[in-house]
Amino acid sequence: MARFPKPLEGSWTEHYPELGTGPVSYADSISPEFYELERDAIFRRTWLHVGRVEQLPRAGSYFTKDIAVANTSVIVVRGHDGEVRAFHNVCRHRGNKLVWTDNPRAETSGTARQFSCKYHGWRYGLDGACTFVQQEGEFFDLDKADYGLVPVRCDVWAGFVFVHLDREPEQSLQEYLGPMVTAIEDYPFDRLTERYAFRADVPANWKVFMDALQEQYHAPIVHRNQRPENFEAHQAGFEALHYQVDGPHRMFNTPGIRPWELPDDQIKPSEKLLRSGLFGPWDQPEFHEATVIDGMRPGGHERVGVALFEIWPNFGIQLWERGWYHTYQHWPTSHETHGFEWNLYFAPPRNARDVVAQEMTAVSLKEFALQDDSLVASVQSTLGSGGLTEFPLGDQEILCRHLHATAQEWVAASLRERSTS
């Protein structure tokens, strides 16, 4: 018997008949050939989140983003006119990576008046124009106006900076995100600026890790030791309040856990002492009313503790009841590896107590995330062995089903296009 009502069709999965209910193929997560196809079919055709506007506070602020799956690096920079622009991070002279610090294989950030190439000193303005060629007279009929940085389509939604590697994207960013995602744009992202960032190289396909974050069926099992044995929420298994898909994007929300309402024997002593833990600092920011938005509860439920929005292809925004949020991002580096980026955002701390409470949340989440991280490495190590590539997915795993269906559909569409062109 479901604790929370399901759609009239009887299940979340059957509410979206195009998803089917049969076993799902994970061949898409173990095949080098499929990964090669994903590069063009997915990552060069989608709006990709690369950072937040707070990382670009003033004219000349920039950061670089390496996108291995698309064989490129981009520079994102705020111009003198305040506009945020993106360029391929490559010098027009002989293809050197233009902006890097110390290690050419690492991302960097900073503030610049212009960009100069480390190789032969060619320079570019913040608008990408080529402004200086060393020993220009040695070149043949060279007009600097023809040698500006190659622009990348760039747009900003709710303070999130996105780029699109197709020069003429079929959809604007707003159209691409669609109504389900843009319904959270009033969340006060711009006031939650205290950032904690984590990075990991994960030995698993990007979709395999996303699966572990977009279902909580695993939580009572994988994370069972983090809670006392009598913890009710774990004994009952997991059910979400609401699942929804909108085109290639997907979301779910849950009532969450309110440690601040639990009896002492169900929380850790340090949680009570520091008034913080996995579900965030217990004391909300002054502007907490602004964090209660309808977009977080598309199913209309009164109490929503956590809502995760997965924006196709690789970016997740998770909003928490106590007025903070975090984001996940998965950057494929091969069919069986990816880079994981995880950012937590809180209100600026008012005092030392807030600092410690935020640290408590960041530390607690890491204890959980490392278990997930290790588990997806375990999945990847045996996926496909014994010829097993098809797996039954339950109704609480509908979003995993949707992710794989979407990836397979986009790759198939791209193959159809190639065969007809």
Binding residues (CB under 8 A) for another protein: these are 194-202, 225-226, 268-270, 273-274, 340, 342-343, 349-353, 355-356, 358-360, 362-364, 366-367, 369-371, 373-375, 377-378
Enumerate the β-bridge partners of residue 250.
Answer: 245, 310
Max alpha carbon distance in the chain (Å)? 80
Instruction: Please say which residue, 153 or 366, places its beta carbon nearer to another protein.
Output: 366
List of residues 6+ apart from 269 with CB closer than 8 A:
none
* Buried b / exposed e along 94-104 (16+ C-beta atoms within 10 A): eebbbbbeeee
Instruction: Please say which residue, 42 or 344, places its beta carbon nearer to another protein.
Output: 344
Instruction: Please say which residue, 72 or 276, places its beta carbon nearer to another protein.
Output: 276
Instruction: Please say which residue, 132 or 198, places its beta carbon nearer to another protein.
Output: 198
Instruction: Please say which residue, 15 or 366, places its beta carbon nearer to another protein.
Output: 366
CA dist 338 and 127 (Å) reads: 32
What is the smallest separation between the CB atom of 282 and another protein, expressed in angstroms?
15
- 161, two tokens: 């900076």
What is the smallest separation between the CB atom of 271 and another protein, expressed in angstroms?
8
Which runs of consecutive H residues, i.e. helices, occur in 147-301? 173-182, 206-213, 219-222, 232-235, 269-274
What is the smallest separation between the CB atom of 191 and another protein, expressed in angstroms?
15
CA dist 244 and 241 (Å) reads: 10
- The total of other beta-carbon atoms located within 10 Å of residue 411's CB is 20
What is the smallest separation between the CB atom of 91 and another protein, expressed in angstroms?
27
What is the smallest separation between the CB atom of 275 and another protein, expressed in angstroms?
11
CB 287 within 8 A of CB 347: yes
What is the smallest separation between the CB atom of 211 and another protein, expressed in angstroms?
16
CB 325 within 8 A of CB 189: yes
What is the smallest separation between the CB atom of 298 and another protein, expressed in angstroms?
31
Instruction: Please say which residue, 273 or 413, places its beta carbon nearer to another protein.
Output: 273
- DSSP H helix total and E strand total for the chain: 9, 19
What DSSP designation does 397 have?
G
Report CA-CA distances (Å) from 242 to 11, 191, 198, 344.
11, 27, 29, 24
Residue 84 CA neighbour count, 13 Å, CB half = 24
Instruction: Please say which residue, 151 or 339, places its beta carbon nearer to another protein.
Output: 339
Residue type (1 letter), 373: D
CA dist 377 and 380 (Å) reads: 5
What is the smallest separation between the CB atom of 365 and another protein, expressed in angstroms?
9
Element (H, E) at 75: strand 72-78
Instruction: Please say which residue, 227 or 404, places its beta carbon nearer to another protein.
Output: 227
Report CA-CA distances (Å) from 286 to 153, 177, 323, 330.
37, 30, 9, 32
What is the smallest separation between the CB atom of 316 and another protein, expressed in angstroms?
16
Rg (CA), the chain: 23
What is the smallest separation between the CB atom of 206 and another protein, expressed in angstroms?
16
Instruction: Please say which residue, 172 or 374, places its beta carbon nearer to another protein.
Output: 374
Instruction: Please say which residue, 141 or 201, places its beta carbon nearer to another protein.
Output: 201
